[in-house]
Amino acid sequence: MVTTDIPERLKRFEIPGRVTVLEGNGELPKIEATTDWSTAEIYLNGAHVTDFQKKGEPPMLFTSQFSRFAHGEPIRGGIPIIFPWFGAREGSPAHGFARLAEWELHEATTIPEGGVSLRFGLPLSAHGATWPPIATYYVVTISDRLTLELIVTNTSPDQPFTFENCLHTYFAVSDISNVSVSGLKGVHYLDKADNFAPKTDNADVIRIASEVDRIYCDTEATIELLDSKLRRKMRIEKSGSASTVVWNPWSAKAQQMPDFGNDEYQQMLCIESGNVVKNKVTLAPGKTSVLKIAISSEPSEQGR
């Protein structure tokens, strides 16, 4: 049930100068975190990180000017949590129910040297009655980097649990023409923009000049996203993730998306870490899986 006093209920998690709970867009509760190095904002709706910015740097995440902000609707941008399935599923919401649910904030703490850690839980009510018993947590740690952990435990006494997950991260870029991506050379991928055709790209870096929707499988490699205009390199280090998805809708698809500007494809690139398609996860009863990524940045003198 939707209540308007949620921010008040969350006030007990506030930490002066570090963690503030306030009303965000669409009157949704939002947490603002401030650390010695950075700021971040997270909506309870989807446990959705919509902003991460290091002091003195442009934002690292892109969120659409046209995003919906409403209970039960996905936010366009930031880091949607894709779980427990990736992509379309007949009769069910695309990309699973985790990004549509209002998560609970369980804990907010400071960490040594001025960082902040927030722990969220996915309420059982988000699953629906027929879903297998699982416990799902999300830990967001903000410091000079943004670290995210999606923790899933199969609480069934006797049934395995199979799922997909993905941290569908929208990176902010100066202009898509200034961007190159490294870390995926020679890795097999399924080209969703070409009817899931299996392909391999042997170029040292990927540049984006048209629609790209690629599911790279069997790779735990660190990815680097170089923005030559900003002279910034963003890095995605990961563990517990065997898939990387690279997505930019480009112009024609952008125009079909009601919650995305016609030209916004020029300002973003999704590089998503998770376990999808052939890398889906099966958890034995009582077992836990952790998908962890750390997003950092450094200046880069490298041009194009």
| Interface with ligand TA6 (CB under 6 A) | 74, 87, 94-95, 168, 192, 213, 245, 247, 272
Q: Quote the least distance from Cβ 109 to ligand TA6, whole Å.
A: 31
Q: Quote the least distance from Cβ 257 to ligand TA6, whole Å.
A: 7
- The H or E element containing residue 256 is helix 250-256
Residues 6+ apart with CB under 8 A from 214: 189, 190, 191, 192, 193, 199, 245, 246, 247
Q: Quote the least distance from Cβ 86 to ligand TA6, whole Å.
A: 7
Is 168 annotated in the active site? yes
Where do we find the tokens 């939707």?
2
Cβ-based nearer residue to ligand TA6, 120 or 260? 260
Cβ-based nearer residue to ligand TA6, 223 or 230? 223
Tell me if 3 sits within 8 A of 22, measured CB to CB.
no
- The H or E element containing residue 9 is helix 6-10
Cβ-based nearer residue to ligand TA6, 237 or 272? 272
Residue nearest to ligand TA6 (CB): 247
Q: Which of 150, 3, 24 is nearest to 80 (CA)?
A: 150
β pairing state of 281-283 and 232-239: unpaired
Out of 102, 149, 237, 272, the active site residue is 272
Cβ-based nearer residue to ligand TA6, 122 or 245? 245
Is 211 annotated in the active site? no
Q: Quote the least distance from Cβ 150 to ligand TA6, whole Å.
A: 16
Out of 102, 164, 168, 237, the active site residue is 168
- Give the Cα separation of 253 and 211 in Å (integer): 8
- Give the Cα separation of 82 and 89 in Å (integer): 13
Q: Show which residues are catalytic.
A: 168, 272
